[in-house]
Structures are given as C-alpha cells and as structure tokens.
Amino acid sequence: MSRNLLDTPIEYLKGVGPQRGDLLKKELGIFTYRDLLHLYPNRYIDRTKYYSINELNGNNSEVQIIGKIIHLKTVEQKRGKRLVATFTDGTGEMELVWFQGFKWIKENLKINTPYVAFGKLNSFNYSFSIPHPELELLEDHQKNLSSAMQAVYPSTEKLGSKISNKAMNKLMNQLLVETHQLFNDTLPKEMRQRLSLLSMRDALINIHFPKDPNLLSKAEFRLKFEEFFYIQMQLLIKNIARKHKIKGFPFKTVGDYFNTFYKEHLPFPLTGAQKRVIKEIRNDVGQEAQMNRLLQGDVGSGKTIVAFLSCLLALDNGFQACIVAPTEILATQHFIGISEFAQPLNLNIKLLTGSSKTVERRIIHEELESGELQILIGTHALFEDKVIFKNLGLAIIDEQHRFGVEQRSKLWTKNVLPPHVLVMTATPIPRTLAMSLYGDLDVSVIDELPPGRKPIETLHYFEGKRLAVWHFIRTEIAKGRQVYIVYPLIEESETLDYKNLMEGYEGISRDFPLPEYSVSIVHGQMTPAEKEVEMDRFAKGNTNIMVATTVIEVGVNVPNASVMIIESAERFGLSQLHQLRGRVGRGAEQSYCILMTGDKLSNDSKIRMETMCRTNDGFEISEVDLKLRGPGDIMGKQQSGTLPLKIADIVKDQDILHYARHQAVQLLKEDPNLEDETNQNIKNKLNVLNSKTTIWNYIS
C-alpha cells in the first residue's frame, strides 16, 4: 500500500484524536499508523469457547457467554452506587456489575437483546457475576473483524486508565479498515510459496485478529522470519561490501619471523583449534581486503600466542602491529607474555599506558614514527592523536566490547589504508548473539584447551561452611599453593563494597596471621603503581593470599594460584563468575573455585551456582546467561536495544534466526547485488532500513 498512508500521524485515526494521540506517543512511542500496526500483542485470550451459565464453576477465570439482559437496577452501597444487570442465557441467570461510569452504560444498554458478555468471573455462594464486562451486541460480534483469540496489547498504568485493551482492539480494527488491509509484501511471491510463508496482509491480520491458533502461529513465524531475515541481509551485505570496498595491505609473505618462531621457538605444541584459527587469519591477511575477524576463546585457551603469531605476519611484511587492552593490568600482562615469546627474535616491543612516563612516551613516539618500534601494546593511550605509526598493518583489540566506537575507529585513521583488525574476547558469546550482533564479522573460535590442563573443580558453599573452607585454604597453602579471595564491586554501592572488602581483608589477616601467612590486597581505589606492587608480590609468591575486587577479572596470570574463593557469589553474573574462575587452573595442579553465598538465593542465583558447578564450558555458560539475562544485559548498556526487534526474540526464536540467515546466505549467493527483478522489493526495503537503522554502530 502507499507508504504515505501508513505514515499518517496517529491522532488522525478515527477514535484517537489529539488527547489519546499524545498518550500513545508518550507511553508507547506510537506516532504513526505504521507504529500502531507494528504494536504486537503480548498474549491472547481464547475467545473460541462460549460458556453456558449452568456449566460455570469457581475455577473458571475469563468466560464468554451469549445471553440477554432481562433486568437492570441501581444498588446503593456504603460509597456510591453500583449498576447490576440480570443476565440470562436460558440455562441460568447471573449478574453483570458496574461500579463506575454506569450512567452512560445504563442509557446505552438494550433489554432483551442478544449480547456477548466477556470478562473475569467472580463467584460467591454459588452465584456468579462479571464486574465491568466487555459487552458487544451479538449482531456486531458476528459482523466485526473479531477473532477467536483476543489480543492483549502492551500498556502502561497511565495508558490503561484512558485506553482499555478493548479500546486498543477497536483502534486496531479501525486501522485495518482505514488502510483497506493493503500491505506491501517485500518478500517475493516465489520465496513465500517456497518457504510456505503467509502474505504480509494475512500475517498482520492474523497477528492482531487471529482466526485460529494455527493461523496465529503462521503469522508469528512470518513476522519473526522477516525481522531476522532483514537484519541478516544487512549484516551479510556489509561483510561482502567491506571485502570489496575496504582495501587492506596484503601480507603476501610468511617470512623469517613467523617461520623461525613457529619452527624453533614455540614454547608448547599448538592445539588443533589454534592451528585452524592461525590458518584462517593467514588466509584473511593475504587478501587485498581488510581483515575484520572476531576471535572467541575461553579463558586459558591460548589466544595470546595466536595474537603474537598474527603480529609476526605483519612484521614479515614490513608492517607494525599493536595490541590494545581495556585495563593496565591486562595490557601489562600481554606485554610480559608477548615479550617472553619474542625474546629469541630480538624484537622491539614497548608498553604504552596512562602511567607511562614522559621520557618513555617520547621514545615510543619517535620509534613508532621511524618504524623502529615493531609491536606496541597498551591501553586507551594508543588512541591518542599524537600516537603516530609509520605503517600500522595489524590492530588487535582485546575485550573489544569495553571500548567505544570512536576510540576503535581512531586506529583506522593512523594509516593510509585501514589496518587488518583482529578482535579478541574471552567472554564467550552465544552462537545466536554472535550471528546477530557480529554477523558481518568473520568469526574464529578456539574451542579446545591446551593439553595437560586439569578441569577446575567448582563448589558452592553457604556461609555456615566458612570454617571448613578456611581449613581447606590452609591445606592448599601448606602444599605451597596460593589463593584468591574476591569481593564484589558494584558501582552503585561502591562505598559499602569498599567497607565490606576492608572488613574482609582485616578478618582474613586475623585468621591467617603473620609470619605463617602473608596477605595482599588490590582494589580500584589504589594507584596503578600500588596495584602493580601488590600484584608483583603475589606473582613472585611473597604473599599466599590475594584479597581483591573484580579488578583481577582479567589479566592476572599466576600458575601457582590454585584456589579462587568468590564472596557473595550471588551478586555476580555468570560470565563474570566464569572469568574470575579462569584466574586459577593455569598450572599443572588441580585447581578449585569456591562460590560462597548467603542462605537465601533467588531462583536465578540458584541456576547460576548450579551451572558453574556443573560445567567449565564458557559457551554453554554463555547460553544459560543469555536465557537468564537477555541480550540487552549481556551486551551491556552501550549495546542493549541495538537490534530493532518488535516481535522476534533471539533467545526463544533461535531456530527461526538460523533459518532466516540460511535463506539470506542462499539469496545473496544467487543474486549478490539484488539485480533480479523479483528481488527489487527486498532491495528497496534494505535501502529504507539502511537509512534509518544503525545496528552496527558498535562493531569493529
């Protein structure tokens, strides 16, 4: 249908007007006919069944009865009056009751005329009543675009008092009347027939006024499929376009640096997964298009060695490389690890963070511009304008979701052509989210842990078992092991958390006194230098116990630490618990993660504790986390609400998402530029979507 009619302001719809229009705009963000059309119901009330009065019982909730009003009376009560109608269907009698607005109701009710009464049933002493029923003349009920299943629409307290659900149904009915139910179909007829999809007209009618559950199901499938299909089309087209349009420096040579290190200096044999990922990266950087690859790998899976080998490919081709991390601790950790790998190759590698001294910075800037500095590792400091590379060929971004878009894009401008980009994350992203949010990136997964690693044993204890846990710590320390004890840090209650941490530290220092034991502490209010001293003491084994906040979530690598105790574990999300657990289990000894909680746990907290104890698989944990928290929470504030979904749910509708992506891939294989006449409507819809949505504003 014409686009203009659906763009009509909502106040012009019959039954809306200026006041209701303002309410719809403020409460539900409905500005046009189109917005109302795509306000989909939350649920449906089954209107297929008509009850007889003589078969009602106290267990009935919402009922629908055909009958006549035979008597009306106004009854005085303590506060005001009520209107009572005697309603009969030939099998018995019941009451319909109104407590307000009944002057208008009384004037409009017709005696001895067939009505359909619908509402919530009340029963008292074997007599039944429906307060404030929905009443419709039987004649109108049969004539209207009514359905067997009545839609219940999203509402708010303010809106509900002015526009009831019945009124919303009437508005939706009016909308379909005024638009003549003529809705453009963007999916080609051949495709709809092949996939057994309803037309857009039938889908929209049956989502609002379903004739039966089967048609409702088909309508939901069509609308969900369409949402997913267009998101996947946008992502896939962006990927294809990037590979054609965004040129990159081809790394044609696999030279001395890479080969010497790989053949002579590898500190341990690579896993099959690491070899596969390196091959994928080598293939990407060998092309004349910019690489844009997401590398997912669980804690301890060996992403750092893959990152280093990727850097060597850049060096072999005369380019510089950089690795950016979100915290100084993680950047320093990368610097130490990569420097150890690089030692036999005599490479020039430096670290740049907010704490770098002026003299160090000057040397770094000079060596970067001359090309003498080969690999620069650091934090947000690398994004500064004065950091100028001679020829940056590869940018590796670790835990990229912690960086803003503008920051990441600054790396692109530090060269004539944008560098190849490798995005790394130790936070496993559920397959569905990866497909939806990173669908335009090529994804590599290291799904194999290095051999010899023993799975971490995870245990959950309530507060009453603390003495037993303390005894276990003493036993582990006696074996020469070290222990982390982590306290939650939640921004909203930072002062309280700091107090809990300090109280915990003092209590632990009393229970594990000098000289037999030594305790370190690290928290966010310390300076970077103070943190480094404490970390160093723990790493060198000068302290047995490290008391910390989640500042140690990433970037701490002490193979001798075999126990991680997480206090108030119920206050952490699953992915954070999994990240913390990854700080142990880095040596050859058996490691343990102990989750300490209060006695009263919510259902979600119980599921989190059970999941942590049951599995060490980060991808399985991420799937549970997605179900518990939803996509918005998992991707963080910056990225929540990024997928413009009105009816589909990426958690519940994973099968439809996979199906839609498959269809999008097939279509683009057959018609990459959407030149076929049958695909013109798809092309037009994509042009409209591209002009409005920014679903990739957070992707590298």
- Report the distance separating Cα 170 and Cα 213, nearest Å: 21
- Report the distance separating Cα 458 and Cα 608, nearest Å: 12
Quick one: average pLDDT of 598-614?
Answer: 93
- Report the distance separating Cα 459 and Cα 595, nearest Å: 6
Encode pLDDT of 337-371 as tens digits.
899 999 999 999 999 998 889 999 999 999 999 99
Helices (H), 246-355: 256-260, 272-285, 303-316, 328-342
Work out the angle at residue 300's Cα, subtended by the Cα atoms of residues 297 and 302, and round it to the nearest 5 degrees: 65
Q: Name the β-bridge partners of 46.
A: 149
Least confident piece of the model among 70-74, 350-354, 450-454, 596-600 = 450-454
Residue 16's φ and ψ, nearest 5 degrees, are -100, -75
On whether the CB atoms of residues 215 and 257 are closer than 8 A, the answer is no
Least confident piece of the model among 44-58, 271-285, 339-353, 363-377 = 44-58
DSSP label at residue 32: B
Encode pLDDT of 82-107 as tens digits.
899 999 999 999 999 998 877 788 88
Residue 19's φ and ψ, nearest 5 degrees, are -65, -50
Encode pLDDT of 459-488 as tens digits.
999 999 999 999 999 999 999 999 999 998
pLDDT recorded at residue 308: 97
Query: Residue holding tokens 């947000």?
Result: 380
Helices (H), 479-617: 494-511, 528-539, 574-581, 603-614
Highest mean predicted confidence (pLDDT) among 7-21, 133-147, 527-541: 7-21
Quick one: average pLDDT of 663-679?
Answer: 93
Residue type, 384: E
Using alpha carbons, select from 260, 370, 254 the residue that is nearest to residue 320.
370
Least confident piece of the model among 2-11, 284-293, 565-574, 674-683 = 2-11
Band (pLDDT 50/70/90 cuts) for residue 172 is: very high
Encode pLDDT of 436-459 as tens digits.
666 667 888 888 877 777 889 999
pLDDT recorded at residue 171: 95
pLDDT recorded at residue 651: 72
Encode pLDDT of 364-408 as tens digits.
999 999 999 999 999 988 888 889 999 999 999 987 655 555 555
Mutual orientation of helices 574-581 and 603-614 as an angle, nearest 10°? Answer: 30
Encode pLDDT of 504-513 as tens digits.
899 999 999 9
pLDDT recorded at residue 639: 40
Residues 6+ apart with CB under 8 A from 429: 296, 437, 438, 622
Q: Reply yes or no on whether the pLDDT at 579 is more than 90.
A: no
Q: What domains are defined for the chain?
A: 1-47+146-182 (no CATH), 61-139 (2.40.50.140), 256-285+302-425 (3.40.50.300), 457-615 (3.40.50.300)
What b-and-e string marks burial along 667-679, b requiring 16 or more CB atoms within 10 Å of the CB? bbeeeeebeeeeb
pLDDT recorded at residue 636: 43
pLDDT recorded at residue 496: 62
Give the three-state DSSP class for 107.
helix
Burial level of 357, CB count in 10 A (0-12/13-18/19+)?
exposed
DSSP conformation letters of 204-273: HHHHHS-SSHHHHHHHHHHHHHHHHHHHHHHHHHHHHHHHHHSB--------HHHHHIIIII-SSPPPHH
Q: Name the β-bridge partners of 424.
A: 295, 398
What b-and-e string marks burial along 515-540, b requiring 16 or more CB atoms within 10 Å of the CB? eebbbbbbbeeeeeeebbebbeebbe
On whether the CB atoms of residues 396 and 312 are closer than 8 A, the answer is no
Band (pLDDT 50/70/90 cuts) for residue 323 is: very high
Residue 90's φ and ψ, nearest 5 degrees, are 95, -20
For residue 427 the two structure tokens come to: 């936070």
For residue 422 the two structure tokens come to: 């490798």
Residues 6+ apart with CB under 8 A from 156: 27, 28
Band (pLDDT 50/70/90 cuts) for residue 696 is: very low
